[in-house]
Amino acid sequence: MAALLACSLPLSGCLSTSRATAVALDDQKPAYATEGCQSAIRATEVHEDLHTGRIIATPILLVLTAGAAAPLLVGSNIALDAADRVDAATMSEACGGPGKTAGEIATDVASNAAIGAATGAALDGVAGGGDGLASRLSRFLFGGATGTTAK
């Protein structure tokens, strides 16, 4: 149970990046009323559905496969996060807001992945003695000790 909690917390933000961007848009800007902006806002449903699916499916698949699916799940979550962030930046620009460069998006995706792995490993170490699924995943991704084991 602790592994399930530890693996799901890093993904459990309330909104996808696209949805959060759509909510934060300034509807007083002229670009907000354009078809391009409105179309981009409508497209956030796809990312929201994928985000919800990731929150549910990732920890279940990690537990069911005893961590064997971790590389596939990490890779797919990173890819979906990157697509969400690219679409959010495109929407922001189409609606008159600031965009992000590819470098800024890549930094956000990498930071999110690293924080997720570290948070999951730390929570797993507190709840599971450091040998749980999240700790093993963190060691797989980053090598060496996670700093959560007390041996």
Mean pLDDT of 91-100: 94
Mean pLDDT of the residues in the chain = 79
108, 88 Cβ separation under 8 angstroms? no
* Residue 95: per-residue pLDDT: 95
Among the residue ranges 37-41, 67-71, 102-106, the one predicted with the least confidence is: 67-71
Residue 34: exposure state from Cβ atoms within 10 A (0-12, 13-18, ≥19):
middle
What is the Cα–Cα distance from 91 to 97, expressed in whole angstroms? 8
